[in-house]
Every structure is written in structure tokens, then in C-alpha cells.
Amino acid sequence: MTVTYDYTGRSVLVTGGTRGIGAGIAAAFRAVGAEVTVCARTAPEHPGHRSARDPDGDGPIRFVRADVRDPDQIERLIGGLDRLDVVVNNAGGSPPAPVDGTSPRLHSRVIELNLTAPLLVAQRAYPLLAASGGAVVMIGSASGARPSPGTSAYGAAKAGLHHLARCLAAEWAPLVRVNTVVVGLAATPDAADHYGGRSDLDGRAIPAGRMATPDDVARACLWLAAPGYVTGAEVRVDGGGEVPAWRHLV
């Protein structure tokens, strides 16, 4: 059975929506009729976006330059919207950052980006979302559900994000629904560097035999953002999780 969606007339904001998973999410919402705004610290390199300074341009997706760690830039980003039905808090990530030897400032910035920023974006978007009966989708990570050595601050922030979503779901019901997509190993432009170029990881570590794609994540977002009853949920897009270490010993 093919599931179809119609987001015509609905306004969607995707943070970090110019590349990787975020770009895939933005494209998926646009393909089903939504008016899509994306933000990032740097402008997209590929065509198909129109600048906030040129709202009547030909690009199907509106781009606003914004660092979501900055409350003033969040205000400018969301204050420029007349309507908002869906927020996808996708902006996030971390370089390798072992606790021993990494600067406190970097750890702080990682937590700001992956936990504090989604909180502030959701907070500022709430009045518009409540008016439209909208939804927030948090892009979480398997790193927030199991040990994340080498990126401990990131894992802790994502664990906090998962809990934040459950709290907001309870606090904002029934006006606004809040859910999380928990993403496992994913095939993105940064994956080769992050996983050391190991082409055998997907077959050995993931029961489904491959990494998640941006389209896999986008389909989960389309479902969670559609009007419905589900709120406070975590949908795992991880191909069945990660094979336990003991399986490699037998």
C-alpha cells in the first residue's frame, strides 16, 4: 500500500535543512505541497532555494540564514512567518569530541546546538503552532539511547532532546503534538568521515543491512507531522538497531 500525503497550504520549517537529512526532509514536504522554509548558518550550494530577501523568486524552498543557537536569530527566523504548521528540529551534530582533551567551550556548543536550540525554536514557534493545531518533530539519534563514546556531549544532548519532546508533548497537548524520530546510522555526506569509510559497517552492524537514507527519515517525519493522535512518541529509523557485540563472537 502506498501512503500519500497532502500538505498543500501548510507551512513547514526545517532547521538545518540545506544538506543531508535536513535537505531530504525539506524536499519531501515540498513534494507533497507544503510551503517550506529552511534555515542554516550558510547558504545552500545547490539551486532550488529562494532567499528570504527574494520571497518571490523561482526557488520552491525559502532559505533564511540563521544560527539556531542564537535567540535573536530565532526571533528573526520565526518572527518573519505568518503561519506555521510544522517545525522539524533537525539542526544538530558534533565532531569527534572525546571528553578528555576537548575544550569545555566545544562541549557547551554541542549541547547548545543539539538540545538548547531545539527547545528555543519550539518555544518561539509555539504560538503559531497552537493556532494551527500543528506539530513539532525532533530529529533524535541512537547516540542518545546508548553509550556514545567519543561524542559524549552529543549523546547526552540527544538523550535530553528525546526527554524534552516527551515533556513538551504532555505540556502542549492537545494543541500541539511533539514527537521524535530516533535516527540510527545514516548515509549522509558526512557519514564516510564519521564512520571512517568502513563500507562493511551496514551489513555487519545493522540488521536491515544498510544505513538509513534521508528519504527514510523524511517519510517518518511526514507521518508524524500529519494530523493525528500520536504525540510523545519516539519512532526509531535505525534498520532494527545495532547488532550486539556478542553476535560477532559466535
pLDDT in tens, 31-74: 999 999 999 999 887 655 655 544 444 458 999 999 999 999 99
Residue 154 designated active-site: yes
pLDDT in tens, 180-204: 999 999 888 776 666 655 555 666 7
Q: What is the sign of the dihedral through the CA atoms of 230, 22, 88 and 115?
A: positive
pLDDT of 227:
94
Percent of the chain at pLDDT exceeding 90: 75
- pLDDT score of 107 more than 60: yes
DSSP-derived 3-state class of residue 124:
helix
pLDDT of 42:
92
pLDDT of 3:
84
Q: What is the sign of the dihedral through the CA atoms of 17, 23, 28 and 30?
A: positive
**Which residue of the set 5, 7, 126, 154 is catalytic?**
154
pTM: 0.90
In this structure, whether the domain defined by 11-35+77-249 belongs to CATH 3.30.1600.10 is answered with no
Closest-CA residue to 16 (of 163, 159, 209, 217): 217
pLDDT of 188:
84
- pLDDT score of 12 more than 70: yes
- pLDDT score of 29 more than 70: yes
pLDDT in tens, 88-102: 999 999 999 999 989
Task: Tell which wins on pLDDT, 238 or 31.
Answer: 31
Q: Write down the domain spans for the chain.
A: 11-35+77-249
